[in-house]
Amino acid sequence: MRDNDAALVKAFRQSSPYVNLHRGSTFVVMLGGEAIAQENFPNIISDIALLTSLGIRLVIVFGARPQIDNGLAEAGLEGVFHKQTRVTDEASFRIIKDVCGGLQMDIMARLSMGLVNTPMQNARINVVTGNFVIAQPLGVDDGVDYLHSGRVRRIHTDTIHHQLSHGGTVLISPIGFSVTGESFNLSSEELAKRLAIELKADKLIGFCSQRGVLDESGVAMPELFPEQAEAALQRLLNEGDEMSGTARYLRAAIASCRGGVPRSHLVSYREDGALIQELFTRDGLGTQIVSQSAEQARQARIDDIGGILDLIRPLEEDGILVRRSREQLEMEVDQFTIIEKDGAIIGCAALYPFPEESMAEMACVAIHPDYRRSSRGDMLLHKVEEQAKKRGMNALFILTTRSIHWFRERGFDPVDVSALPMGKQQLYNYQRRSKIMLKNLI
pLDDT at 2: 59
Closest listed residue to residue 261, CA positions, set 214, 200, 321: 200
> Which 3 state secondary structure label does DSSP give 366?
strand
Q: Is 3 exposed, middle or buried (0-12, 13-18, 19+ CB in 10 A)?
A: exposed
Q: How far is CA 430 from the centre of its chain?
A: 47
Amino acid identity at 405: H
DSSP H or E run through 191:
helix 188-198
Residue 239 pLDDT level (bands cut at 50, 70, 90)? confident
Beta-carbon count within 10 A of 413 CB: 13
Cα distances from 46 to residues 52, 88, 203, 391, in angstroms, run 10, 34, 19, 55
How big is the CA angle at 68 (ends 64 and 72), to the nearest 5 degrees?
Answer: 180
Provide the CATH topology of domain 6-293.
Answer: Carbamate kinase (3.40.1160)
Distances (CA, A) of 361 to 218, 279, 305, 433: 42, 38, 20, 17
pLDDT of the residue at 19:
87
HSE of 190, CA atoms in CB hemisphere, 13 A: 17
Each residue's pLDDT tens digit, 88-122? 999 999 999 999 999 999 999 888 876 555 565 66
Bridge partners of 3?
Answer: none
pLDDT value, residue 211: 87
Per DSSP, the three-state class of 115 is: coil
Give dist(CA 282, CA 339) in Å, integer.
13
Model confidence pLDDT, tens digit, residues 37-90: 999 999 999 999 899 989 999 999 999 999 999 999 999 999 899 988 899 999
pLDDT (0 to 100) of residue 21: 86
The CATH architecture that domain 296-440 belongs to is: 3-Layer(aba) Sandwich (3.40)
Q: Residue 291: is its pLDDT beyond 90?
A: no
pLDDT of residue 84: 84
Please give the model's pTM, rounded to 2 decimal places.
Answer: 0.73
pLDDT attached to residue 121: 66
- pLDDT the model gives residue 1: 55
Query: Mind listing the pLDDT tens digit for each residue in 420-429?
Result: 999 999 999 8
Spatial contact of 206 and 264, defined as CB atoms under 8 Å apart: yes
With a pLDDT cut of 70, the percent of the chain lying above it is 97
Q: Which of 113-122, 216-225, 247-256 has the lowest mean pLDDT?
A: 113-122
Domain boundaries, the chain: 6-293, 296-440
User: Any residues with CB less than 8 A from the CB of 225 and at least 6 apart, and which?
Assistant: 289, 290, 291, 293
Neighbours of 141 (CB within 10 A): 12
**Averaged pLDDT for residues 323-344:** 91
Average pLDDT rounded to a whole number, residues 398-424: 93
**How confident is the model over 122-177, as pLDDT tens digits?**
667 889 999 999 999 999 999 999 999 999 999 999 999 999 999 999 999 999 99
Q: What is the reported pLDDT for 115?
A: 52
